[in-house]
Structure 1
Amino acid sequence: MHELPILLNITIALVAAFIGGLAVRKIGLPPIVGYLLAGIVIGPFTPGFIGDIATIQELAELGVIFLMLGVGLHFSFDDLLKVRDIAIPGALLQMILATLAGFGLSRFWGWSVPAGIVLGLAVSVASTVVLLRGLMDNSLLNTPHGQAAVGWLVMEDILSVMILVFMPVFSGHGEFNWTVIGTTLLKIAAFGIVMFVLGKKFIPWLLERIAHTRSRELFLLAVLAITLGTALGSAKLFGISLALGAFVAGAIISQSHLSHQVGADINSFKDAFAVLFFVSVGMLVNPVFLWQNLGLVVALSLLIILGKLIITLFLGTLFPHPAQTFIVIAIGLSQIGEFSFILGQEGVLLNYLSADQYSLILAGSIISIALNPFMYRLVPLLNQWLRNVPFLWKRLDRHDVRPILPESGIKDHVVIIGYGQVGCHLVDVLEMLHVPQLVIETEAAQIEALNKRGIPSLFGDAANSEVIKFARLETAALLVITIPDESSTALIVTSAKDINPNLRVIARASSMEGINTLTERGANHIVHPELEGGLEILSHTLLELNFPLREVHQYTEAIRHDRYNTTINTPEEFNTLQDMLTFIDAIDITWTKIPAESPLIGQSLSEANIRAHTGASIVALIRDGHITANPKSSTIFEIADRIGLIGDHDNVEAALQLIRGTPKVIETGDETPFIAPSPDTQIP
């Protein structure tokens, strides 16, 4: 039998990673923790099967390349620029302070200066994967706080890439060789010119040509060739790391409209080789060393989790932004991950770190990643604790935008929570109708926009602050909550009902569970955008199939009742709804085209006298694309005229018979047959 060492190592590594990832996921931890533990199990420091570190690490290089490609694909200068005032200086200062803290701790332990610097840099960088997962799991990704955290991580990614580039330059035990530094900068500049001038034009053009072949295999091969070719070329021709080459390739591809397809196609490769990378990292961990140095592990873990959290909150006192933003960022950054592994691995290769020192970094990473999902539960507790320290809260919860506060005597106004796409449209309409309104918004830029329009506003998070108490809900006519986060909406509804139990509340839900929750909290009207969008598509579909408007309306309302049935609590309320539907059903508005054989052709409205004959009234006429409301009695009917009829069901059916003859009757099995309209009946 042939020896297959590479295949054997890949198989064992992936099986171990699968078992480890599945096990930790069952207890609510990120799979990355399981991958690292799997590496420890098959590593040389534990009994049982020992994987070939050299083989797996060589394969793990592909993991680094694809990880950096993924970072580049999701890299966005636009995202960074939106929060540049907080992300750029904040990330820079945080990395400096965290690096100094890590360096200081290493000096206390007696480490060398290069080892201490690498430790500090590894501690300063958070995992993008873990941060995004945490924000998504806690419905924070699309909030201003989550966007600021993502921008912060983008800046950290940029700085980390630059650190990886310059680490080999200082391999002479920290001595500054300006010739080497100058040469490195020239190589980076040359690589940047080649990639962002020539590559920016060639790579998207090539992907476009390959996409036109309609071959999924060729497109995938093109992406792999571009990624690996760029990474290897950057290393061999310019002396730059594989990681930087892959990152630049991803950043260039991200500017193509095909970037999403590239991301989808490459995702499986990235995940598979990234798993091997994490397993290879775990194989370097020596559990015996960690147990013998448990105090060092605990100290480093506390620095990563609590130290970085305190540093970030301290920086919050220097920037004019809401406290909630820095609380979310601080929680999200209280861990280290893939960039820390790469930095530590580079430190080992350059003999800055020993294998045992690297194991210590990995242990801190495993612990911080494992605890990070639970850290988000501290957000409201931390918020409340900081409020109890007035001096600190005053320094932390600041912003440079002064909203236009509502007048003390404001009443019968509409309070709108959220000035996003939905809230913006609502504000526009209410302003046009001169309805008094007050907007509560968490984003400073939106408050500035409201200030320019002269619309009263309050800055803050209505779900997690006292701001809602200043919205004059006692005298408000209506509260409309447009934000997509259901948990925040539920908190707002509860607070609003506590202030004014009689206040009418319209809330937005994103799931059927959310509808139940908001109903229990006291929301009077709940809108599920996906459900309403589906009903709108359904309505247009049935209308295009020439079903009567009355039947379409009745069917969609029945679906609404089934989905929103939590809002119908008593038999009396349900009967009232049915009475309303019956009333609507009694009025039938139908548009029909006058056929060439119609007896009305050449007659005027007064001569046809449709109302006297049928009881239905003609309320509009469309001719040559122009609509005439309440046409004059002297109007002469012409071929292809479209007329709008209004009346009850029998009146309209009689009018249709008069206009175009007896319609076809379809037996439905019910006592009352369903009368189908002719094909030319249309409802605009």
Structure 2
Amino acid sequence: MAVEASGAASDLVQVVSLLAAGVIAVPIFKRLGLGSVLGYLLAGLAIGPFGLGLFTDAHAILHVAELGVVMFLFIIGLEMEPSRLWGMRRAIFGLGLAQVGACIAALTLVGIALGFPVSVAFVAGTGFVLTSTAIVMQLLEERGALSTPKGQRIVAILLLEDLAIVPLLAAVALLAPGGAEASGMERAVAVVIALASVAALVAAGRWLLNPLFRLLAAAKAREVMTAAALLVVLGSALAMQLGGLSMAMGAFLAGVLLSESSFRHQLEADVEPFRGILLGLFFLGVGMSLDLTVIAANAGLILASVAAYMAVKGLLIYGVARALRASHAESLERAALMAQGGEFAFVLYAAAASAGIIGGTTNAVLTATVILSMAITPLMVIAFDRLGPKASLSTDGVEAPEDLVGSALIVGFGRFGQIASQPLISQGCSVSIIDTNPSNIRLAEGFGFKVYYGDGTRLDILRAAGAMTARAILICVDDPAMAKRIAEMAKAEFPLVPVLARARDREHAVELIQAGVTYQVRETVESALALGETALLTVGAEPEAARAIMEEVRRRDAERLDLEVVGGIYAGRDLIQGNMAVSANGAG
């Protein structure tokens, strides 16, 4: 028992060390303007085998932490609707192929110049071509450039590089001693298996996933929805890995297939916390993997390799970007972001080592070269931001902003929310709608509305649905307690966004006002007042007198509501009872 307790304590020490390293290092580095990636890398080095020695097997952590990259690609896929991805086909297969092809040829020559045999130089160069998806995505996200046109072009190149790992691994197999003797049938079978894996994933995404999430949503078990989101990500990654493809590519494809699903925002919110933690763990693992003994023994070769590979790759990225009409500033920025090697290089080098193309020392040298390049990248980006040219904004072909309608987030799409949305939609406002009732979602889809499944009482769901950038948040749910929680959360987290809310009754209206909503309306007041005004006209009142009476009713109602809000009490009087004073005083 003592041995078991000691082992458990040791495992807990490692977990606490990982969390503490990230919690301490990242805020410090971000405060210094050095970014979170460099903080994670140096924190990993500090607690790894060549620092405090709290970890001896960094590769075991990397294998688990690679799931962070997988989840990141899933979330990116959720943002890529098939039509949008199809629109990027030229960037993926044009820009991506041009950059990858040019870099493979040039970096192979760099390897030969460094003294490697041709086959080793080819493996070393192709591995370095594969940019770190994790680092580039994180830097783009921190810079707020992920959804910009230049950010999307970088994403397109990264997607092509993920696809390129498949033929590159096949090339490694051919370069292996005796690899060329492999039968054409074996290679054909491998290709068929890969295509079958993609086809199976596409079929599951189109015909199985949405019905599955509808059933789970109807059960109203939040933890099961989270488990289902993780199942989709990890299951798709496993399917692609078994088919000989990239796990990250499988997760990305699953995200694309679900990008038009009603459950998109819920899935993104469920996966996001795991993505963030595992991606941070990945960077910690990379920092731990930096073998200082290998670097010290081969310092000259490693430093020369890092400098040569990054310089040549950066120049080629800049050249390809300029040739395809990117601006000078964008081309330099792309070169600074993508000049490093990436995590897929480790996979390629390991395959080459197991195939007998490179030895153990060469593998360690190449791996250290890639890791150093990854660690240098945040510094290069900081240097670019401070010293590089500033991108100029062009107004050519851009219409002047006039009568623009901002975006709105509607929470709840029952009978009230449906009516409230109509003026916004009719004026071309960009509306994001979430609801937790699957039948409401299906009904709305039948009328052409796109409604996403999402719980508005969760901050992560509100963020995923666009609350931070919305011009207004409309709370249209019919549960008073839920409406109040959403209002309080929205005003606390997005204080500059106006919040407009539906109130059940007078007491609920007071609670919403105290929660800080910009505007509230009791769900039955306006219809009842309209009916009352029509009744006055029907029984013979003059139109002007009827309007004056209605104005007095509204004024007295507003005064009493203000009094109750200031007093912090609810008198329990209904609208009609409170307005008895109108006729008693002979108003109108």
Q: TM-score range by the shorter chain?
A: 0.5 to 0.7
1:364 corresponds to 2:381: no
1:37 corresponds to 2:1: no
SS at match of 1:224: helix
- 1:213: which partner in 2? 219
Counterpart of 2:193, as a letter, is K
- 2:207: which partner in 1? 201
Tell me the distance in 2 between the aligned counterparts of 1:286 and 1:365.
14
Q: Could you say if the C-alpha distance between residues 126 and 383 of structure 1 is closer, same or farther in structure 2, counting changes exceeding 3 Å?
A: farther
The answer on whether the counterparts of 1:38 and 1:282 sit within 8 Å (CA) in structure 2 is yes
**Cα deviations by residue, 1:82-113 (Å, 9 ceiling, x for unpaired):** 34434431121111222223222222222244
Tell me the distance in 2 between the aligned counterparts of 1:532 and 1:166.
54
Tell me the distance in 2 between the aligned counterparts of 1:78 and 1:418.
27
Tell me the distance in 2 between the aligned counterparts of 1:510 and 1:659.
35
SS at match of 1:74: helix
What is the aligned counterpart of 2:153 among 148, 152, 164?
148
Tell me the distance in 1 between the aligned counterparts of 2:549 and 2:21.
74
Counterpart of 1:106, as a letter, is G
Write out aligned runs for 1:304-343 (5 A): 305-320=310-325, 322-323=327-328, 325-343=330-348
SS at match of 2:176: coil
The answer on whether the counterparts of 1:336 and 1:365 sit within 8 Å (CA) in structure 2 is yes
Write out aligned runs for 1:115-514 (5 A): 115-160=120-165, 162-163=166-167, 166=170, 169-170=173-174, 172-173=176-177, 175-176=179-180, 177=182, 178-198=184-204, 200-232=206-238, 235=241, 238=243, 242=247, 245-254=250-259, 256-291=261-296, 293-303=298-308, 305-320=310-325, 322-323=327-328, 325-344=330-349, 346-347=351-352, 352=358, 353-380=362-389, 416-417=399-400
Tell me the distance in 1 between the aligned counterparts of 2:383 and 2:366.
27
SS at match of 1:376: helix
Tell me the distance in 1 between the aligned counterparts of 2:111 and 2:497.
58
- 2:59: which partner in 1? 57
Shift of 1:64: 1.9
Tell me the distance in 2 between the aligned counterparts of 1:604 and 1:23.
72
Tell me the distance in 1 between the aligned counterparts of 2:196 and 2:246.
14
Shift of 1:185: 0.4
Q: Which moved more, 1:189-198 or 1:294-303?
A: 294-303
The answer on whether the counterparts of 1:231 and 1:242 sit within 8 Å (CA) in structure 2 is yes
- 1:412: which partner in 2? none
Counterpart of 2:334, as a letter, is I
Q: Could you say if the C-alpha distance between residues 210 and 15 of structure 1 is closer, same or farther in structure 2, counting changes exceeding 3 Å?
A: same
Q: Could you say if the C-alpha distance between residues 279 and 115 of structure 1 is closer, same or farther in structure 2, counting changes exceeding 3 Å?
A: farther
Write out aligned runs for 1:19-34 (5 A): 19-34=24-39
Q: Could you say if the C-alpha distance between residues 91 and 83 of structure 1 is closer, same or farther in structure 2, counting changes exceeding 3 Å?
A: same
Tell me the distance in 2 between the aligned counterparts of 1:83 and 1:214.
37
What is the aligned counterpart of 2:114 among 105, 109, 117?
109
The answer on whether the counterparts of 1:138 and 1:376 sit within 8 Å (CA) in structure 2 is no
The answer on whether the counterparts of 1:30 and 1:130 sit within 8 Å (CA) in structure 2 is no
SS at match of 2:262: coil
Counterpart of 1:184, as a letter, is A
Shift of 1:363: 0.9
Write out aligned runs for 1:607-622 (5 A): none
Tell me the distance in 2 between the aligned counterparts of 1:212 and 1:173.
57
Q: Which moved more, 1:374-383 or 1:179-188?
A: 374-383
| Structure 2 alignment gaps of length 5 or more | 407-468, 472-493, 510-517, 519-528, 564-574, 583-588
The answer on whether the counterparts of 2:40 and 2:287 sit within 8 Å (CA) in structure 1 is yes
The answer on whether the counterparts of 1:341 and 1:362 sit within 8 Å (CA) in structure 2 is no
Shift of 1:592: 11
Counterpart of 1:268, as a letter, is P
Tell me the distance in 1 between the aligned counterparts of 2:301 and 2:41.
19
TM-score for both structures, normalised by structure 2: 0.62
**Cα deviations by residue, 1:181-233 (Å, 9 ceiling, x for unpaired):** 22210111221222222454223332332232211222222333444444445
Tell me the distance in 2 between the aligned counterparts of 1:262 and 1:657.
48
Shift of 1:37: 2.8
Tell me the distance in 1 between the aligned counterparts of 2:143 and 2:556.
58
Q: Could you say if the C-alpha distance between residues 418 and 377 of structure 1 is closer, same or farther in structure 2, counting changes exceeding 3 Å?
A: farther
Higher-RCO chain (CA-CA 8 Å, sequence separation at least 6)? 2
1:534 corresponds to 2:498: yes
What is the aligned counterpart of 1:97 among 102, 109, 125?
102
SS at match of 1:355: helix
Counterpart of 1:172, as a letter, is A
The answer on whether the counterparts of 1:204 and 1:256 sit within 8 Å (CA) in structure 2 is yes
- 1:582: which partner in 2? none
Tell me the distance in 2 between the aligned counterparts of 1:658 and 1:79.
51
Shift of 1:259: 3.4
- 1:431: which partner in 2? none
**Cα deviations by residue, 1:337-362 (Å, 9 ceiling, x for unpaired):** 44445545555555545223211211
Counterpart of 1:369, as a letter, is P
Q: Which moved more, 1:243-252 or 1:351-360?
A: 243-252
Counterpart of 1:62, as a letter, is V
Structure having the higher Rg: 1
- 1:514: which partner in 2? none
| Structure 1 alignment gaps of length 5 or more | 385-396, 405-414, 424-508, 512-529, 548-555, 557-589, 606-617, 619-636, 644-654, 670-675
- 1:560: which partner in 2? none
Shift of 1:135: 3.9
The answer on whether the counterparts of 2:313 and 2:339 sit within 8 Å (CA) in structure 1 is yes
TM-score for both structures, normalised by structure 1: 0.54
Q: Could you say if the C-alpha distance between residues 360 and 151 of structure 1 is closer, same or farther in structure 2, counting changes exceeding 3 Å?
A: closer
Q: Could you say if the C-alpha distance between residues 358 and 325 of structure 1 is closer, same or farther in structure 2, counting changes exceeding 3 Å?
A: closer
The CA RMSD over aligned residues, in Å, is 4.9
Counterpart of 1:269, as a letter, is F
Aligned length: 451
Q: Could you say if the C-alpha distance between residues 16 and 416 of structure 1 is closer, same or farther in structure 2, counting changes exceeding 3 Å?
A: same
**Cα deviations by residue, 1:3-57 (Å, 9 ceiling, x for unpaired):** 236555444444444444344334222333233334333444x26425241xx53
Shift of 1:249: 4.4
Q: Could you say if the C-alpha distance between residues 194 and 604 of structure 1 is closer, same or farther in structure 2, counting changes exceeding 3 Å?
A: closer
Tell me the distance in 2 between the aligned counterparts of 1:665 and 1:213.
42
Tell me the distance in 1 between the aligned counterparts of 2:296 and 2:31.
26
Shift of 1:275: 3.6
Counterpart of 2:130, as a letter, is V
